[in-house]
Amino acid sequence: MNRTTLTLIGVVTALAAVTGVGALTVPDDGADDGASAAQRLPVERSTLVCPKPSESELATTDYTAFTPKGEAGDGKGGARLLPADLADPSTPGGDDKKDKKDKKKDEDKGEDGGSAKPVLPLKAPGTPVVTDTDSPDAPALFGSADGSFAPGWTVQQTTSVSAGIGRGLHGTACGEADTDFWFPAASTADERHDYAHLTNPDDTAAVVDLEMYGKGGRVTSESGREITVPPRSTVPVLLSTLTPDPETNLAVHAVVRTGRVGAQVHAVDDDLGGDWLPAAGVPRSTAVLPGIPADATAVRLVALTTGQDDADLKVRLAGRSGQITPAGHETLHLKPGEVNAVDLGDVTKGEPGSLVLTPSEKGDTTPFVAALRVTRGKGTKQETAFIPATVPVEERATVADNRSKGGTLSLTAPGEAATVKVTASAGSGGGSPKTATYAVKAGTTTAVTPPLPTGGKGTYALTVERESGGEVYAARTLEVKADGVPAFTVQTLPDDRGTVAVPEAGQDLSVLTD
């Protein structure tokens, strides 16, 4: 057997192993000899990480898990979370013998390790499950979904702090484990207590660098390097221990050297409440930050270029009737590695909106990251939340923990007009789904009260699907009144990546000839 034949067998074997569904076909006479276009198929496994919630004695945390109904599988599979251990940032790692021993122990106990009681196991796609805790020792969570439970699996963590530092509503969608995260709008100012939460869902140690950038550029810090996150553990890192001097506006870059982690920043303020700061989307030359509430009293934009070039950006607010330029903030100049923070004030002027950032010069592809810190209320009754730049809804986005009151869904079409279908799932206590369709005009933001399940009880989930038109960006605001404080949290709705493109392999017999 010659080398070309061996090469063909190797390629065919590799394709079949990677896709698991690839079909090798011989093209008909006259057909294109190349491989067929990729088709989208439901994902077969999803992994999520939920950070450790508030340690306040006055906090209550609600969890909601949900998988949309779909065409994946035959109802087999499952979804569940497990508690992660709390580790110290100085914990030594890289002990291969210990890692192998722990892995063997987990394998003996079963997949996802251990005999710990699963949290939020789903019984069926289409119906959310809920649980709550008021323990200040509540752990971080990690877990996976497979089979028909994997596509679009979503878990929401919402914490209500009734008084004291950080009082207000702190919400986050549990995130995927990855190797690179950007967090604009963090802070080490005296009134802020920001922690980076690093959670490792795997059975080998991860090693993470936390790089910090301020208005003067890179912040030198050796203590943020080579942070070891042990297997199935979480490490909270107080950001103020990584900077020699307080920095009001920071961008944090979490770079995973070994393994992967889930990463979130918890921003807590002495007087202005706080919230979870999710990672911004992948650095791009444009950004959309959707879902600024109509009654926002202060909006701060924090941005940073991630490349080697300057960036000049147009700043636009997409409102109800179109895009406008905020007075005095027509453009934004970014220098490489230097954080630029701009206070936009009450930029929405009483109507909901979304911020749109685009290059001032056509063809400029300089990548950057951005996030908003949004404040509602006045005086001692203020509360804050964060809106990072996000990615559009390509096919479907999902958000859990929606309630009968206090929810707003923002839909933004920065370019062409679009049509969007929104479906409310059955409630956690019963009911049946309900669907509504919304038309979003070009260059505008439409804020709606989302549909409620028919006869629904308890919390429910929303799925957002772009049916036609241009790009759509979405965000959900959840708010409650707490002693006059307008407590709220905003979650952007990136595509839930419930499907993946799988190429169909085509046979090319020409590789058999020299």
List per-residue pLDDT tens for the chain, 514 residues long.
443 343 333 433 333 333 333 333 333 444 444 445 568 888 999 999 999 998 899 999 999 999 999 865 556 899 999 999 999 765 444 444 344 444 444 443 444 445 578 999 999 999 999 999 999 999 999 999 999 999 999 999 999 999 999 999 999 999 999 999 999 999 999 999 999 999 999 999 999 999 999 999 999 888 899 999 999 999 999 999 999 999 999 999 999 999 999 999 999 999 999 999 999 999 999 999 999 999 999 999 999 999 899 999 999 999 999 999 998 999 999 999 999 999 999 999 999 999 999 999 998 999 999 999 999 999 999 999 999 999 999 999 999 999 999 999 999 999 999 999 999 999 999 999 999 999 999 999 999 999 999 998 899 999 999 999 999 999 999 999 888 899 999 999 999 888 887 776 556 555 555 5
Same domain for 347 and 232?
A: no
Residues 166 and 311 in one domain: no
Q: What's the pLDDT score for residue 93?
A: 40
Q: Is residue 281 situated within a structural domain? A: no
Query: Integer distance in angstroms from the first to the last C-alpha of the chain?
Result: 14
Asked whether residue 28 falls in the same domain as residue 84, the answer is no
Residue 276 in any domain: the answer is: no
pTM (2 d.p.): 0.87
E strand residue ranges, 306-389: 311-318, 323-324, 331-334, 340-345, 353-359, 368-376, 383-388
- The verdict on 112 and 210 lying in the same domain is yes
Residue 316 is assigned to a structural domain of this protein: yes
Domain assignment of residue 187, given as a range:
45-269
Q: Rounded CA gap, 174 and 65, in Å?
A: 10
What pLDDT was estimated at residue 508? 59
pLDDT of residue 21: 38
Q: Give long-range contacts, CB 8 A cutoff, 24+ apart: 28-35.
A: 33/506, 33/508, 33/510, 34/506, 35/503, 35/504, 35/505, 35/506
Q: What is the pLDDT of residue 104?
A: 41
DSSP 3-state assignment of 108?
A: helix
Element (H, E) at 19: helix 3-19
Give the pLDDT confidence score for residue 23 in this predicted structure. 34
Q: Which residue, among 404, 400, 409, has the nearest Cα to 458 in the 3D structure?
A: 404
Same-domain pairing of 158 and 292 = no
pLDDT at 112: 47
Torsion of CA 51, 54, 60, 65, to 10 degrees: -10
Alpha carbon distance 49, 136 (integer Å): 19
- Which pLDDT belongs to residue 347? 94
Residue 205 lies in a domain: yes
Q: Are residues 300 and 317 in the same domain?
A: yes
CA distance 177 to 304: 23
